[in-house]
Structure 1
Amino acid sequence: MFQNKKIKQITLSAVAMAAALMAAQGRASEATLKDGKLAIDTLPFALESQLDLGAASVKDKALVLQANKGTDLYANPDGTEIADKTPRVLFQPTGDFIFSAKVTAGVNHPFNGGALIVYNDKSNWAKLLFEFSKTGAASISTTVAKGAGDDAHHGVRPGDAVYLKVLRRKDMFVFYTSPDGSTWSMVRNFSLPGAATAKVGFSSQSPASDGFSAQFSDVKFRNATFKDFWQGE
């Protein structure tokens, strides 16, 4: 009898936790900054802030990352030029996951932008970046660095905001973009050394101007394996 009661209590607790997680996913995320500690209620992880070259703040319940002048996360195609100096907020998920956020960036200078990143070390990382391109338009670019980088550009995105998504399935990562957070376009898939222990999160950059701020809102995370590769859901 006692054992059955204990099992029932555990089951009810698990159901309550699942319901709470579903409720959190169904509403806007809320970022908080208290006593210097940053938290986002839809991310069930401790957040690691690397802010030597910028600052993090909270505005309208969204995370704002301020990048100082000269900040960049970059590796050229032959690996002879590497920049690993952006303000970022990271966390370390486990297993398969789906992670997305709305990135708002009043981009007004070439290469300023906000990104979702996958990061192991200065030589092994990837970023999905919403930036102001050299042609004068807000656009999407990606880089996968494995010692050397491979910048790729994925076209113009109208407006000052876009939804970005990163997922992991075993050792594979996939990047997506969306205008509304509902219908997604797959940008690229790739592998990365140390995929199982990679950190993911938010980054802002201002490599060629006096500084830049990107805002991250509607943050969603769940441990799940996609059923539809092209939508990442």
Structure 2
Amino acid sequence: MKKIILFAFTLIFCCIAACSSKIEEKDASVNQGAGGATTESSKISGEPCDISFGNVHFTKSINGADTLAVEQNNGRIAFKVGEKKDYFNDPNGKLSNNTAPILLSKIDNTKPFTLVSKVTPGFTAEGMYNAGVLYLYVNDNLWQKHCFEQDERGKHRVVTVRTINTSDDNNHDVIESPSVYLKISSDTKTVASYYSLDKETWHLVRLYQNAYPEDLWVGISSQCPVDRGTTNYFEEISLELSSVKDFRMGI
């Protein structure tokens, strides 16, 4: 009899342990981000908003973005940003800063999409890392930004930053023009970022697997990590439910 009772308790314990393990595995998978990397937090920042520019309807505002972006008479969007505002998860934590304003529009990531805008940053003499930015955003630890940015030597470059818990930082081509067209496109399997000077010839700067979840946000942002504030400008902004056909050429 004692053996039967001991066996029953052992069986119950094993069942409980197995169930707990499955629950833990499920919880871990919920927090997995792009490429299967586990994000440390699933915090989704921002407040609801209702603002449209071009054909893009923005419904989420991070860090008061909806109060800082205004459409001017010529259709250009003037997007103000205050001093020392950035979005970056520094690998060593020293420069981490998630205070930049971002306007976001929710999309269905099971369908193709292309986000495009002409970007004219408010570059200043002391404005290191000033930038006008396009975004892909899931939560504070899973996002990508595509920037026209001022570097450490005062040069103006295309820059991409991809964040999975911590951010990488990739400087691309130097641009002499005050404006550049930025584009992010996906066919549901691949995400690619491009720039163009004339909206005709596109240059690929970054490409990777689209492992983002079904609910994805796209948007625009202004940043000014070092200086005392600036205004960045966006024109010809559009969001289409189609992707580029040639991911190397961006067309």
Q: Please, what TM-score do these two structures have when normalized by structure 1?
A: 0.77
Aligned to 2:137: 119
Aligned to 2:61: 49
User: Relative to 1, partners in 2 of residues 1:82 and 1:198: Cα closer, same or farther, differing over 3 Å?
Assistant: farther
For 1:63-142, what aligned pairs fall within 5 Å after superposition?
A: 63-77=77-91, 82-94=96-108, 95-108=111-124, 109-142=127-160
**Is 1:173 aligned to residue 206 of structure 2?**
no
Decide which structure has the larger Cα Rg and report it: 2
Alpha-carbon separation, structure 1, partners of 2:135 and 2:176: 22
Amino acid corresponding to residue 59 of structure 2 in structure 1: L
**Is 1:58 aligned to residue 71 of structure 2?**
yes
Aligned to 2:202: 184
Cα drift, residue 100 of structure 1: 0.4
Cα drift, residue 228 of structure 1: 1.1
Alpha-carbon separation, structure 2, partners of 1:197 and 1:72: 24
User: Relative to 1, partners in 2 of residues 1:133 and 1:117: Cα closer, same or farther, differing over 3 Å?
Assistant: same
Deviations 1:42-71 (A, max 9, x none): 22x343233437711122212221111111
Alpha-carbon separation, structure 2, partners of 1:230 and 1:105: 26
Amino acid corresponding to residue 62 of structure 1 in structure 2: R
Bigger shift: residues 131-140 or 202-211: 131-140
**Is 1:39 aligned to residue 52 of structure 2?**
yes
SS of equivalent residue, structure 1 residue 163: strand
Quick check: 2:58–2:105 contact (8 Å CA) kept in 1? yes
Alpha-carbon separation, structure 2, partners of 1:110 and 1:193: 32
Alpha-carbon separation, structure 1, partners of 2:140 and 2:89: 9
Quick check: 2:134–2:145 contact (8 Å CA) kept in 1? yes
Question: 4+ residue runs of structure 1 moved beyond 6 angstroms?
Answer: none
Matched residue pairs, number?
Answer: 197
* CA RMSD, 1 decimal: 2.0
Cα drift, residue 131 of structure 1: 1.0
Cα drift, residue 188 of structure 1: 0.5
Quick check: 2:224–2:230 contact (8 Å CA) kept in 1? yes
Alpha-carbon separation, structure 2, partners of 1:191 and 1:90: 21
Cα drift, residue 221 of structure 1: 2.1
Cα drift, residue 135 of structure 1: 0.8
Unmatched 5+ residue regions in structure 2?
1-48
Quick check: 1:65–1:87 contact (8 Å CA) kept in 2? no
SS of equivalent residue, structure 1 residue 92: strand
Alpha-carbon separation, structure 2, partners of 1:100 and 1:175: 10
User: Relative to 1, partners in 2 of residues 1:206 and 1:46: Cα closer, same or farther, differing over 3 Å?
Assistant: closer
Deviations 1:11-35 (A, max 9, x none): xxxxxxxxxxxxxxxxxxxxxxxxx
Cα drift, residue 40 of structure 1: 1.8
SS of equivalent residue, structure 1 residue 232: coil
